[in-house]
Amino acid sequence: MKVKVHVTLKPGVLDPQGTAIGHALGSLGFAGASNVRQGKYIELDLAETDPKVARETAKAMCEKLLANTVIENYAIDLA
């Protein structure tokens, strides 16, 4: 089963990379972009076929390694 994980910084956490991306977009003429935030996208295949078990496994992966839950949120999509 394919698992897609989106990891983003929690609201209120400073995002210097997002800020730099926002400035670069402005420099390139994309003046309408503001409040830019960046994150991570992780895609993996699990041998699990039960969606509930796959989601719980992905959640455990996020809690232990894929996301820093002190400053990051994550969302799991199963495909």
Query: So what's the pLDDT on residue 45?
Result: 98
Three-state SS string over 1-56 comes to: CEEEEEEEECCCCCCHHHHHHHHHHHHCCCCCCCCCCCEEEEEEECCCCCHHHHHH
Q: Which CATH class for the 2-78 domain?
A: alpha beta
Query: So what's the pLDDT on residue 16?
Result: 97
Query: So what's the pLDDT on residue 4?
Result: 98
Query: So what's the pLDDT on residue 75?
Result: 98
Helix (H) or strand (E) holding 43: strand 39-45
Q: Could you state, in order of their start, the residue ranges of all structural domains in the chain?
A: 2-78
Cβ proximity of 59 and 76 under 8 Å: yes
Cβ proximity of 7 and 68 under 8 Å: no
Stretch 43-66: mean pLDDT, rounded? 97
